[in-house]
Amino acid sequence: AIVVWLNPSFRQMCNQVMSDVPGAALMLACLLVERWAERKPSVRRDLILGVAIGLASYVRSVNVLLVPAILCARAAAHLCEQRWGGWGSGWLAFVRSRALGLAIATALVVAPWSIRDSLSRPDPPVDQNFLYSYSTAMWHVDGGDPSSPRRPLSAIFERVPQRAQQITSMLGSRMSTSEGSALEIAIGAFMLAAIVVALVRRRSSAEFMALGVTVVLAVYFGFQGRLVLPVWLLALAALVDCVLWAITRAVNAIAARAAVIVALAALVWVDWAPYRDVDRIEAIHAAYMRTCDAFRQRLAPDARVAAPIGWHYSVYLDRPVYSLFFAVRRDGEMEAAERVIDEYGINTVVLWSAIPADQSMLPYFRERYGDDNAFPGGSVFRVRP
């Protein structure tokens, strides 16, 4: 736990307004609820567990994989108890008493948001976000347009070699890079093997969950290192458990635990960097503050604002800022920005030359609208009356 808490990448993720760390915390909490449910199995406890998983999935949708993970663990335990018996009354009773309550409770909790999504779908293609939906991004050529051609399965599985390298690199580098060295990739592969060993030894839901998330990431349409966080948390525990189990076969338990503790303490020492990137982060924040203050001074009272990507400007200007980049990227021409401007009633565009997407649009807006309302590094264009 100390190794995780003091890991620089984990520290950084804890200070980002994103769902990864809360989602991982809720995943671990659900595994604790499952442990409570297993101590005295009952439909009532399964319903409570299902509600917990459903609520956790609202924070991070990958948490819904806890349901198949728990059911796989229970099925494996039941299979061992049946001594590899066939499908019969024992399995029917298992499904009724150990599977249905959990699955139904989770589905009922998740259903309202799914219904909400189905009733409020945007008109494709979307122009204010990268994606129309995760499903569209996964299965369609254009992630922002569900009417675009579907990807062939071969294209989905072509992702596996690259994703495998990225996942193992993140694990082996302790969440610091997806382009790690051969040694870091090998360590990451060893951590995945440790999950398999732990799964064979214990057949618990945690290992099924870790492998389930790994399989999803192996074919996922995009990759961000933070997506590996739940796998890393569970893989680190599995690695410690596996190493401790192996060492204990050669030396006594006290010596084995001491060796593992020393190794983990060394890892904390190597990783210790509580202020990593602080200067860079502060400099970026200060630059946004200065630039957006300059923008604010030049905005008319009736300004309805857009930028290539408006999300950060929305935060610093404390007002809605629409995005032009996604429509331009899709159409491959700047005229697409004009359609977004007209559709949302935009009359002002702000561009900051320090941002690559902004810089690429500067020549077009300068030529079409002039650059009278400019300051060093930034421009404010009045694009409509």
168-219 residue pLDDT tens: 999 999 999 999 999 999 999 999 999 999 999 999 999 999 999 999 999 9
20-47 residue pLDDT tens: 999 999 999 999 999 999 999 999 999 9
CA-to-CA dists, residue 352 to 22, 338, 360, angstroms: 33, 19, 10
How many angstroms separate the CA atoms of 330 and 337, rounded? 11
**pLDDT, position 173:** 96
How many angstroms separate the CA atoms of 353 and 337, rounded? 18
Report the sign of the C-alpha dihedral through residues 206, 212, 218, 224, in that order.
negative
Please name which of 123, 128, 120 lies closest in space to residue 344, comparing C-alpha atoms.
128
312-341 residue pLDDT tens: 999 999 999 999 999 999 999 999 999 999
pTM: 0.91
SS3 205: helix
Mean pLDDT of the chain: 94
